[in-house]
């Protein structure tokens, strides 16, 4: 089949959109809907390709787009979902109303990725480069953060394998999945929007209310046990603690955090600082990981992330 010619091959305009072009596009879509993106530019009188129009509309002109900086809550959600789903920006964006995949991708690449690296964590795998431990020393020093991310990564791989396996088994007509039949029938997203996600949010509120009257660090750890609370905890900690408490809190931080503190001092404005702390809290995880992961199994209802049928062997065979 012949690939649709690029804009430049048709002598169409490229580069930044002018306010006039924006107005034409918005007016046209308001009156007629976008219909076929390919025919839209001609019908609207724009010298752009349909692809460019679609991108401009979905990433910038759409009326429901939320502008402004990401909130700590959104940031936390992005980190958590990225840990689960990887670079599935569209799926992540679907969980953040008003945010576009492009915006989230840019935010990840310019802010969060950098912060991961400064913490010595691989932003792709959410794991420390030193894991898996190859020596007793390394093994004993495996950080809670690493264990946390390893757990999440395992969970992600298992669910992906399961999704593939079940997609194969049921084809595209399974009643179990959303009727759209689109790849959005992602188990993780279903989980995120299910009782489990709800439980996450409930625990988050409760734990955050506790943290304001107890030791910040110990509370943060118990809170992040559920993989949550970074932004809210941080906000509360910031509010409640004076300079002295802040230092005490930081003295408990890991070596990786020290690297972060040292290497990123140039950008240590209030927001960045608090966000770094948020990230660390989010990544932190207590040593009894099995318990945390059991949390899932107890809250999944008729959806199980770790079905009994999915043993390590079946996982391997399904991949």
**Where do contacts with DNA occur on this chain (CB under 7 A)?**
1-4, 6-8, 14-17, 35-39, 48, 50-52, 54-56, 59-60, 69, 87-91, 101-103, 105-107, 109-111, 181-183, 266-267
For DNA, which is the closer residue by CB, 52 or 219? Answer: 52
What minimum distance in Å lies between the beta carbon of 238 and DNA? 20
For DNA, which is the closer residue by CB, 123 or 197? Answer: 123
What minimum distance in Å lies between the beta carbon of 14 and DNA? 3
Contact 47, 8 (CB under 8 A): no
What minimum distance in Å lies between the beta carbon of 272 and DNA? 8
Going from the C-alpha of 265 to that of each of 224, 258, 261, 278, the distances in angstroms are: 25, 11, 6, 16
What minimum distance in Å lies between the beta carbon of 58 and DNA? 7
For DNA, which is the closer residue by CB, 72 or 237? Answer: 72
For DNA, which is the closer residue by CB, 90 or 226? Answer: 90
For DNA, which is the closer residue by CB, 106 or 209? Answer: 106
Please name the residues in contact with 67: beta carbons below 8 A apart, sequence gap of 6 or more: none
What minimum distance in Å lies between the beta carbon of 35 and DNA? 7
For DNA, which is the closer residue by CB, 106 or 297? Answer: 106
What minimum distance in Å lies between the beta carbon of 7 and DNA? 5
CA distance 145 to 225: 11
What minimum distance in Å lies between the beta carbon of 265 and DNA? 11
What minimum distance in Å lies between the beta carbon of 279 and DNA? 15
Contact 299, 196 (CB under 8 A): yes
| Residue 287: exposure state from Cβ atoms within 10 A (0-12, 13-18, ≥19) | exposed
CA distance 131 to 141: 10
DSSP output for 37-83: TTTHHHHHT-SS-HHHHHHHIIIII-TTPPPSPPPHHHHHHHHHHHH
What minimum distance in Å lies between the beta carbon of 207 and DNA? 30
CA distance 318 to 164: 8
For DNA, which is the closer residue by CB, 39 or 214? Answer: 39
Picking from 48, 23, 27, 24, the residue whose alpha carbon sits closest to that of residue 37 is 48
CA distance 81 to 290: 20
Provide the 3-class DSSP secondary structure of residue 194.
coil
CA distance 81 to 84: 5
For DNA, which is the closer residue by CB, 177 or 237? Answer: 177
For DNA, which is the closer residue by CB, 107 or 285? Answer: 107
Picking from 141, 72, 151, 147, the residue whose alpha carbon sits closest to that of residue 112 is 72
| CB crowding 40-49: b at 16 or more within 10 Å, else e | bbeebebebb
CA distance 146 to 203: 23
């Amino acid at each position: 089949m012949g690939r649709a010619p690029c804009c430049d091959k048709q002598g169409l305009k490229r580069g930044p959109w002018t306010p006039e072009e924006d107005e034409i596009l918005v007016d046209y879509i308001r009156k007629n809907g976008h219909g076929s993106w390919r025919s839209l530019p001609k019908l609207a009188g724009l010298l752009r390709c349909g692809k460019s129009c679609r991108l401009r509309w979905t990433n910038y002109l759409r009326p429901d787009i939320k502008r402004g900086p990401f909130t700590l809550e959104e940031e936390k959600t992005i980190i958590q979902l990225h840990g689960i789903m990887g670079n599935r920006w569209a799926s992540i964006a679907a969980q953040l109303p008003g945010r576009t995949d492009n915006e989230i991708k840019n935010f990840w690449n310019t802010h969060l990725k950098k912060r991961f690296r400064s913490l010595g964590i691989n932003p792709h795998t959410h794991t420390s480069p030193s894991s898996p431990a190859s020596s007793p020393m390394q093994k004993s020093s495996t950080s809670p953060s690493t264990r946390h991310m390893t757990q999440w990564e395992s969970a992600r791989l298992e669910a992906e394998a399961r999704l593939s396996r079940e997609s194969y088994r049921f084809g595209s007509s399974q009643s179990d999945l959303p009727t759209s039949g689109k790849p959005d029938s992602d188990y993780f997203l279903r989980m995120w929007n299910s009782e489990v996600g709800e439980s996450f949010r409930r625990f988050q509120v409760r734990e955050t209310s506790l943290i304001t009257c107890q030791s910040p660090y110990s509370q943060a750890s118990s809170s992040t046990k559920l993989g949550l609370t970074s932004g809210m905890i941080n906000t509360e900690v910031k509010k409640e603690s004076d300079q002295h408490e802040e230092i005490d809190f930081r003295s408990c931080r890991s070596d990786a955090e020290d690297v972060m503190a040292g290497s990123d001092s140039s950008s240590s404005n209030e927001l960045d600082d608090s966000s770094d702390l948020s990230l660390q809290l989010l990544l932190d995880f207590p040593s009894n990981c099995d318990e945390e992961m059991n949390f899932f199994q107890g809250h999944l209802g008729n959806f199980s992330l770790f079905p009994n049928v999915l043993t390590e062997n079946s996982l391997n065979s399904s991949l």
